[in-house]
Structure 1
Amino acid sequence: MSDQPEDTAATDPQSAIDAQGEQRRTELDDRIFDHNAGDEQEGIPFVGAGPGDPRLLTVAGKELLAEADLVVHAGSLVNSELLEEYCDHAETVSSIGKDLEELIPLMRDAHEDGDNVVRLHSGDPAIYGAALEQMDALEHEGVPTYFVPGVTSAFAASATLRTQLTLNEVSNHVAFTRPQGETLTEEDDHIGEFVEMGDVTTCIYLGTHAVAETMDRLIDDGHDPEIPVAVVYHASWPDEDVLYGTIGTIGEKLDEAGYRASAMVIIGEAVTGAGYERSYLYDGWADRGPDGDGAGGDASDDETETTDDSANPDTTEATQ
């Protein structure tokens, strides 16, 4: 790739973020209607690296990394094996320890020099990735950007646990959340509310260090200490570890294991994979016929012809 200049033009990310946000309030971006999520587009892609295992990187992500001259990645949050396998031909720069005032000129200048730049986030960049502020700052300076989805750690964790996050008659909702701390006030911590609902699977990001405190608060607020909890450390990584417990026991188990970061915490009955009811989707197809009229037929035909989610509440769950 071309050499980066020693001095880059000053950038004011906050002004750019404010300007892009104001523009977004008043008009829709035409690219929303011009491209699908898997399309390769003009500009810098913000690619989800997935939860850890290089094999869980998407095909689109692999193709973009294969063409990259510069990969700005999320440091140790991205598996080094993935970087070695897919980025060994490119210059790689860790974003850890760099602020926007440094990252934006780095990516902007490389793009303007004609280099293919990829911004590689861990998991999916749309979930706790702080991607949009980087994209807005780049867009404000004339550099197009776009998202490339990745597999988030909650999905890798559910695969490890051999269960679903949604289960008929057990969990109809999923909450992606984080606990109170330096960046989230007590008033903005809604974990207790999700647990109170009963049929919610609560997936806690960025909260490994605070599991004991979170569980203590739930107990103090009157929640059942026997509600199941699973903690999956480094989901899909070679050193992955799984801890099972309850609201009343998982804090002590995690403290004994010594994990303080990089774990997915999942609260709810779906963790066990037990107690669910047979779904409507695969119930009685043999009696319905290809047109749903009871004339018999192949179930796969009916599955592809179902177009109304309200008529089949399990369609989205079964086909995602």
Structure 2
Amino acid sequence: MTDDRTDGETDPQDAIDAAAAERATERDPRVAERTAGEVQEGIPFIGAGPGDPGLLTVTGKELVESADLVVHAGSLVNSELLEEYCADAEQVSSIGKDLEELIPLMRDAYEDGRDVVRLHSGDPAVYGAAVEQMDALEHEGVPTYVVPGVTSAFAASATLRTQLTLNGVANHVAFTRPQGKTLDPEDDHIGEFVAMGDVTTCVYLGTHAVPETMDRLLDEGHDPETPVAVVYHASWPDEDIVEGTIATIGEKVEEAGYRASAMVLIGDAARKAGYERSYLYDGWANRGEDGADTEAEEGCSDD
């Protein structure tokens, strides 16, 4: 961490560039010293989860309950969570604020001895834009760390009572987003993931683009009967599910009127059909070389 302030402010872009240059030659020593579940010194960047307050992690809950200032992701964070766990804290929405506003706000509060929490929706690691804030704060001498959360793809999978990976159906998962204002067409790889066949493609930030995305998939020759599930506000009280195929889901989503806040799952796993029995529970995992029972090396999360 360095503190290059001379006039009370630092350009966040300068901080980002400096952090990138530093990482090119050395690794942050905290990487080897701290674990993901450990409460550390500094401002925690907490994943609030997909919506339901109960899906906030235990560590996240404890930190927001003790916070003096909670900077949160506006309507992307369930107001019930803020009311239940952050009632005694000052609450500031980050919506509409740029780094030049957010960094001094959090820095000054932290330097004044207040407990500051940055609350992101879902998990900060997935389309969270957290690292640029963390780099800017670290550049000004304020330590930061991440507390993971439950991302919306996992909540959508739970709602659909399926798995993102299913033996014989989907061996891979892709987290992606469609082309648009912030992603050039050549960087849109949704069609490539779908073409692989055994991938569950989880499309973030693309509710508004479902019809256009499906039209592109059809134009590329993908099977129009490929299952697609769109889960609006996964785990929220107003959660809704729209199911269809590449050929039909666009019109269904338009009829439902959803333009944001939905997770799009493309692939056979969304329908939970055609999967094969796993090796883990057919006796294979418990057979040792000498015929004696052995504990499964792969663990209960492997299929």
The TM-score with structure 1 as length reference comes to 0.90
Could you tell me which residue of structure 1 aligns to residue 4 of structure 2?
Answer: none
Give the root-mean-square deviation of aligned CA atoms: 1.5
Q: Which residue of 2 aligns with 1:108?
A: 107
Identity of aligned residues (%): 77
| Contact 1:46 1:148 (C-alpha < 8 Å) held by counterparts | yes
Give the equivalent residue in structure 2 for 1:156. Answer: 155
Secondary structure in 2 matching 1:255: helix
Q: Does 1:274 align with 2:259?
A: no
Does the Cα contact within 8 Å between 1:164 and 1:273 map onto a contact in 2? yes
SS in structure 2 at match of 1:243 = strand
Asked if 1:190 corresponds to 2:189, the answer is: yes
Residue aligning to 1:32: 31
What is the match of residue 293 of structure 1?
A: 290
Q: How many residues end up aligned between the 2 structures? A: 297
Q: 1:145 matched to which residue of 2?
A: 144
| Kept after mapping to 2: 8 A contact 1:232/1:264 | yes
Deviation track 1:132-188 (CA, whole Å, cap 9, x = no partner) reads: 000000000000000100000000000000000000110000000000000000000
Does the C-alpha gap of structure 1 residues 283 and 113 become closer, same or farther in structure 2, counting only changes over 3 Å? Answer: same
| Unpaired segments ≥5 residues, structure 2 | 1-6
Give the deviation of 1:26 after TM superposition: 0.8
1:74 partner amino acid: A
Uncovered stretches (5+) of structure 1, i.e. residues with no partner:
1-7, 307-311
Q: Which residue of 2 aligns with 1:302?
A: 295
Secondary structure of 2:24's aligned partner: helix
* Misfit runs of 4+, over 2 Å: 8-11, 285-288, 314-318
Using a 3 Å threshold, how does the CA distance of structure 1 residues 143 and 287 change in structure 2: closer, same or farther? closer
| Cα distance in structure 2, aligned partners of 1:47 and 1:158 | 22
Contact 1:16 1:136 in 2 (8 A): yes
Measure, in 1, the Cα distance between the counterparts of 2:254 and 2:167: 33
Q: Residues 172-215 of structure 1, C-alpha deviation per residue, up to 9 Å, x if partnerless?
A: 00000000000000000000000000000000000000000000
1:237 aligns with 2:236: yes
After superposition, residues 1-320 of structure 1 pair within 5 angstroms as 9-284=8-283, 288=287, 291=288, 293-295=290-292, 297=293, 302-303=295-296, 306=297, 312=298, 316-317=301-302
Deviation at 1:281, TM superposition (A): 1.3
Q: CA deviation at 1:9?
A: 3.1
The Cα shift of 1:65 comes to 0.8
TM score, norm. by length of structure 2: 0.95
Offset at residue 11 of structure 1 (A):
2.8
CA–CA distance in structure 1, aligned partners of residues 286 and 222 of structure 2: 44
